[in-house]
Amino acid sequence: MFMGGRGKDESDAVNRAFIATVRAASAIVRAPLPGTRYRAGIRGRRVLEDYFTRHLPQARSGGSDDLFTALCQARTEDGEQFTDADVINHMIFLMMAAHDTSTITTTAVAYFLAKHPDWQDRVRAQSDVFGDKVLDIDDLEGLTDLDLVIKESLRLLAPVPLVMRKTVEDTAIAGYYIPAGTLVAITPAVNHYVTDVWTEPDRFDPLRFDSQRREDNAHRFAWIPFGGGAHKCIGMHFGMLEVKAILHQMLRTYTWSVRPDYTARWDNTSLPIPVDGLPVDLRRR
């Protein structure tokens, strides 16, 4: 979808480089000293740049329908194309904004469904109604129970737990004066657990998003896994459909579970990923 098919070794190298690049964003030491996360991130960024640079000529020539090729082929009304640097920067950003967040969300949903087999059975029953049909957008939007589970998973484990913004004018928040030009943090990881908004916020309860309750309507920024306002994620609807499509196929093909006493631990160094890789018992139906 984004970069077309590549060999496993190359894909693994790109994935390692990408993880190092993302982790460097939250490095405390902002200098490329040996052994630091920041230095590893700079090296990872170079690997990604080299990767896209090598494949640019093929993408420029066309012949594929992935987004990398589409960016290389895109032209403005004046016939201008993105420069090589533009394409590379767009693709590296896309890996984080459109790929990593989706994989984190899919992982989180799979985890919560493993922990709550009653909900796994419930959403699977809705998917089974379609049989082997290739689902279109209307079909995916009709998976309403899965939609509830995804929203609750995004609440409990926001893929982007903190978003930085800068105030454009003097303001006050909860009685605190904040002058213009101040960096502020918007934290879904905190908002999503506010007891004034959410009933038993630590509990997995997808029905809190059901039309009869809609706890997320308590405040316009109560549920913000995609941000909000003018800078709300433009890929929100695509991302939800993408995750639904993946999970629908998983539900149709497999059942999965975790040990009854298992609780995942998440590494929030950059974006949340399971520390132990999230071991599950996966069985084909």
What distance separates the 2 farthest-apart alpha carbons in the chain? 61
- Measured distance CA(48)–CA(148) in Å, rounded: 36
The residue among 214, 196, 194 whose CA lies nearest residue 206 is: 214
Helices 236-253 and 144-156, packing angle to 10 deg: 110
Burial 131-155 (b: 16+ CB within 10 A, else e): eeeebeeebbeebebbbbbbbbbbb
Q: Look at the block and give the residue holding tokens 């991302």.
A: 239
Burial 45-56 (b: 16+ CB within 10 A, else e): bebbbebbeebb
Give the pair of three-digit tokens for residue 8.
Answer: 């496993």
Q: Is 233 annotated as a binding residue?
A: yes
Is the CB of residue 32 less than 8 Å from the CB of residue 280?
Answer: no
β-pair type (266-267, 254-257): unpaired
The residue among 8, 206, 23, 208 whose CA lies nearest residue 120 is: 206
Is the CB of residue 100 less than 8 Å from the CB of residue 87?
Answer: no
Spell out the residues 6+ positions from residue 42 whose beta carbon is closer than 8 angstroms to its own: 24, 32
Give the pair of three-digit tokens for residue 135.
Answer: 């689902």
Binding residues, by number, are 233
Residues of the binding site for heme: 233
